[in-house]
Amino acid sequence: MFAFDGTVLIEDEFLRDGLQNEKRLFSLEEKLGFLAQLEAAGVKRIQIGSFVHPKWVPQMANTDELFTCLKPREGVTYTALVLNGAGLERALAVGAKHLSISVSASETHSQKNTNRSVDGGRAKIKPVIEKALSEGILVRAGIQSALGCGFEGHIDPDRVSDIARDFAAMGVQEINIADSAGLSNPRAVYELCRRLRDETPANVALSLHLHDTRGLGIANFVAGLQAGVRIFDAAVGGLGGCPFIPKATGNVATEDVAFVCEEMGIETGINWQMLREPVERAEALLKRKLPGRMSHMPPPPWAQHSEDK
């Protein structure tokens, strides 16, 4: 029997992981337009950008402005990615209340992303997390490349476990396990998530960040569900990648994850059929088809009228 209780929270990262690799720069107005469409469809947590240096990721340069311009909707959490103390200062200045602060578990990825070793990155991020927590920010501490690295291959689960236990001891609210390059498989996802669940306090939530590079995104998602994970990252249209990871493709598509949940009777609060509009808009602006499935498919016969719900 498929064991399941509770609901699933999907964090949409179209505006961050989705857009960060795109050459076409998206204006503040365009981003606000996508934000409104995600909110209307019922997305409850939205990663709207990252506080990284605009020289490295120009697409994220208007993250500060986006935070100050958005009109928060009740029940929606707006979050962003922070990789260092300078980023945290910018996040605090615009009143962010929830942040992802992350390190990489891969030496090569860490060097390419931040010019630091894994241990160097961990030492550098600790005071950033402590400062954020002391300012009342809800912190999601992330472990990038936790399930494999495009440069190094396998990542030792002992190292991931060590980082996760360290994060838990700092008092973070959530630990995010990222398959940044989309290299994992359902068994590896299940085993790592079960292990981290056993090794971290129950009041620290676990979340999964999955990429669909080899078509295993939804299978990995279900494996995460079975391991007890209830928070997942996704991006509308499956847009995205990582500028520093060769050929990493997008996150699992939000509409696909919301669809599979609906089909399994699991509540996400998202009307996936309402995500067709942002996908169509993104495709028009980017002049290409996005990889997500359900925005290009008719609903199954028993869900034809779900937009009337």
Residue 153 neighbours by CB distance under 10 Å: 9
Please say which residue, 146 or 275, places its beta carbon nearer to Mg ion: 146
Please say which residue, 12 or 17, places its beta carbon nearer to Mg ion: 17
Minimum distance, C-beta of residue 144 to Mg ion, in the bound complex (Å): 8
Please say which residue, 17 or 39, places its beta carbon nearer to Mg ion: 17
Using CB under 5 A as the binding rule, whether residue 11 contacts Mg ion is answered as no
d(CA 156, CA 13): 27
Using CB under 5 A as the binding rule, whether residue 174 contacts Mg ion is answered as no
Minimum distance, C-beta of residue 255 to Mg ion, in the bound complex (Å): 18
What residues numbered 17-76 form the site for Mg ion, per CB under 5 A?
A: 17
Strand intervals (E) in 74-173: 77-82, 98-104, 138-144
Give the list of residues 6+ apart from residue 183 with CB closer than 8 angstroms, or none: 147, 148, 149, 150, 213, 214
Please say which residue, 217 or 273, places its beta carbon nearer to Mg ion: 217
Window contacting Mg ion (CB under 5 A); options: 14-22, 78-86, 112-120, 288-296: 14-22
d(CA 283, CA 255): 15
What are the distances in angstroms from CA 209 to CA 26, 108, 164, 176, 195? 23, 19, 15, 7, 17
Strand intervals (E) in 106-173: 138-144
Minimum distance, C-beta of residue 179 to Mg ion, in the bound complex (Å): 8
Window contacting Mg ion (CB under 5 A); options: 12-20, 111-119, 153-161, 285-293: 12-20
Please say which residue, 242 or 275, places its beta carbon nearer to Mg ion: 242
- Residue 43, Ramachandran bin (φ over 0: left; ψ between -120 and 50: alpha; else beta): beta
- Residue 251, Ramachandran bin (φ over 0: left; ψ between -120 and 50: alpha; else beta): beta
Window contacting Mg ion (CB under 5 A); options: 10-18, 28-36, 59-67, 257-265: 10-18
242 carries an active-site annotation: yes
Minimum distance, C-beta of residue 177 to Mg ion, in the bound complex (Å): 12
d(CA 11, CA 254): 8
Minimum distance, C-beta of residue 267 to Mg ion, in the bound complex (Å): 25
Q: Which residues are catalytic?
A: 242
Chain contacts with Mg ion (rule: CB under 5 A):
17
